[in-house]
Amino acid sequence: MSLRRGPSTSQPVPAILACALALVATVAPASAQRPSGTQLTPDARRYLVNKDVGGERWAISFDLDDRTVTGNVFKTDGSPPSFVWCRVASETQASNPGGNAYSLDCWGAPACAAAPCSNAAWTEIGRGIPIAGSFLLPPGTAATWGGAVAPVLASRCALSGCHDGNNAANGLDLRAESAWRSIVGVASGQDAFRDLVEPFDPDASYLLAKILGDGILNRMPLGQPPLDEPTTAAIRRWIEEGAAKN
């Protein structure tokens, strides 16, 4: 999608959104005037966020596959909603996922009066807008894919040569760029009754059983010291929280 700066008649809407986005970066969710909430979709591929920002109600979606943040902005004066479309330009994982730092490039538009809707209605709000993980992720999120899981699989399993994509044991590629799609919802080749990772269900996830050596031959990582308890607990909690690509 090629977005460009639209005509001057649509400038007021992005100006309002720009002020609201600035508030997102500085105001804690506790300042919301009405009950707020965040939910992970059943397929664990996006977060739905419904929160007040500067007197407006934001109903947005964080798509974990394409790293976009999109949705509706409802006004308190009863006027038609505005819309926001952002792409994550960069992100930094923190030990506490609530402290994750996302940098967004965003565009805004007023409501489309009638089809066909014009691409020219979308105008740039800003680039490099900082958003904290505490706004996009559910409260109490303890482990993320990018912070707690992918680095471990890459360093202990892929770089060991066992699952590096070139000579991947059992065809399992655990390099950072490939691991999530290789394990989440993918049937285990060694246990016909379990997927490698079953979102929301650690005990049904064969990968965790291999890491724990839970009644299974050849505990992983093969030929290396087992993962320590905090690392194993983080992987368990990530699966329990939905095994999202967060």
For residue 120, give the nearest of 130, 110, 133, 128 by alpha carbon: 110
Residues in the chain: 246
Residue 75 confidence (pLDDT): 83
Helix (H) or strand (E) holding 47: strand 46-53
Amino acid symbol at 82: S
3-state secondary structure of 74: strand
| Sequence spans of domains, the chain | 8-136, 145-240
Per-residue confidence (pLDDT) for residue 103, from 0 to 100: 96
Q: What pLDDT does residue 170 have?
A: 60
The structure tokens listed for 69 are: 């943040």
Prediction pTM value: 0.85
User: What is the mean pLDDT of each successive set of 10 residues along the chain, which is 246 residues long?
Assistant: 43 62 59 79 95 88 97 86 95 95 95 91 94 94 96 81 61 81 87 89 93 80 86 96 96
Determine the pLDDT at residue 67: 97
